[in-house]
Amino acid sequence: MLYAIETSGITKHFNEITAVNNISISVKPGELFGLLGPNGAGKTTLINMLSTMTEPSGGSAKVWGFDVQRQAGSVRQNIGMVFQGTTLDDRLTGRENLDLHGRLYGLDSKTRKNRINEVLSLVELTDRADAIVKTYSGGMMRRLEIARGLMHHPHVLFLDEPTLGLDPQTRLHIWEYIKTLNKEEGVTIMLTTHYMEEADHLCNRIAIIDHGEIVALDTPEALKNSLGGDVITLGLENPDDITRLCEAYQKNGCANIVSRKMNEVFITVKEGERQIPHVLALASKAGIPIQSVSLRKPTLDDVFIHHTGRAIRDKEVTEVEKVEYKLRSRRK
Ligand SMILES: Nc1ncnc2c1ncn2[C@@H]1O[C@H](COP(=O)(O)OP(=O)(O)OP(=O)(O)O)[C@@H](O)[C@H]1O
Ligand SMILES: [Mg+2]
């Protein structure tokens, strides 16, 4: 088997909506592969087809060498799944949740006992294993779900938005577990996220997805380098000047890429430090007042903006997401 996950033109329609459109990707065993995209991009739908939760409308896919449609049972034996919303039973203890999962997978009592202790220790929940899940924090629940996904030694683990709605500190914590289990347990991981820092920090390779299609696919470094230099951000006094300024830069060929967001213009140039005076001089010549200027290395958000003309979304966890996550956690 060459690939842990291999899709060929996989497609999913929901009536008139095309949620996933003709996606072909290959993920090698041991890779930590990310699907990065905004809300509604089709990430969950893709992962649901790969984990046999949803039937594809077209194309095909193999997971660990098994066809997701014709050999769904074998696919399920070889995968672990952590869903976007929590599916724990919060009236049971952490240990009971894991035991239930082990029983569903037909593990005998001794194997279950040993494996439960192993996975609890991996996500550092041994101390809280016998407490009712209702008393867990959001981060602890997420860790328990990851542990549960690992109970039956899957070869491939799907993580759908593993840190959605968690605070930045807890998110860092979960990143470390994900890295550890990819390295130490050798699990191939496919995760979805709309946090670009998460994809950047964790993944060997990333497919950027928008409207059900892959817009770019490579290592995080290569994606960022593809923009060809440093990013100069110019804040404009008057947002109405944006189009004129972009045109001025494009006409002068001073930048590889020019993009925009709200009242800011992003210019990607080689040797940014040297180019700032030239960039400012061009704005001044065009009679456009500049309020602020900064220089930085490109981010995956810049890559996304370059390909789609939009930003992925706000970088930090919003209060709305926190509330959504809590509500989902309580809904049974
Ligand atoms: N069961 C369904 N019935 C109808 N439409 C659906 C269904 N599931 C998903 N969709 C639609 O398919 C598109 C892709 O949704 P999907 O949940 O895969 O996106 P996503 O990238 O996971 O988004 P998010 O970041 O919000 O989780 C959306 O337009 C969504 O409304
Ligand atoms: Mg989703």
Does CATH place domain 5-219 in 3.40.50.300?
Answer: yes
> Measuring from each residue's beta carbon to the nearest atom of ligand 1, which residues come in under 6 Å?
14, 17, 19, 37, 39-45, 84, 194
DSSP H or E stretch at residue 66: strand 66-67
CA distance 144 to 154: 16
Q: Are 50 and 190 in contact (CB under 8 A)?
A: yes
More confident residue, 30 or 230: 30
Beta bridge partners of 27: 5
What's residue 83's pLDDT? 92
Q: How confident is the model at residue 329 (pLDDT cuts 50, 70, 90)?
A: very low
Say which ligand is closest to the CA of 41: 1
What's residue 256's pLDDT? 61
What pLDDT digit, counting tens, does each position of 42-70 carry? 999 999 999 999 999 999 999 999 999 99
- What is the spatial order of strands in the sheet that 156-160 belongs to? 79-82, 156-160, 188-193, 32-36, 205-210, 213-218
CA distance 83 to 67: 21
What's residue 267's pLDDT? 85
CA distance 265 to 231: 10
- The CATH class, in words, for 228-297 is alpha beta
Query: Whole-number mean pLDDT of the chain?
Result: 89
54 Cα nearest atom in ligand 1: 1
Instruction: Calculate how far, in angstroms, residue 324's C-alpha sits from the geometric centre of ligand 1.
Output: 16
Give the type of residue at 323.
Answer: V
What's residue 326's pLDDT? 47
pLDDT at position 223 over 90: yes
Residues 6+ apart with CB under 8 A from 223: 206, 208, 216, 300, 303
Q: Are 11 and 20 in contact (CB under 8 A)?
A: yes
Output the CA–CA distances (angstroms, integers) from residue 153 to 36, 66, 221, in the order listed: 26, 17, 31
What pLDDT digit, counting tens, does each position of 158-176 carry? 999 999 888 888 889 889 9
More confident residue, 238 or 19: 19
* 296, two tokens: 């930085």
What pLDDT digit, counting tens, does each position of 196-208 carry? 999 999 999 999 9
pLDDT at position 324 over 60: no
What's residue 314's pLDDT? 43
DSSP assignment letter at 317: P
Q: Are 283 and 255 in contact (CB under 8 A)?
A: no
Q: pLDDT > 70: what percent of the chain? A: 92
DSSP 28-60: -TT-EEEEE--TTSSHHHHHHHHTTSS--SEEE
Q: Where are the domains of the chain?
A: 5-219, 228-297
Residue nearest to atom 6 of ligand 1 (CA): 14
Among the ranges 15-24, 266-275, 283-292, which has the highest mean pLDDT value?
15-24
- Is the pTM higher than 0.75? The answer reads yes
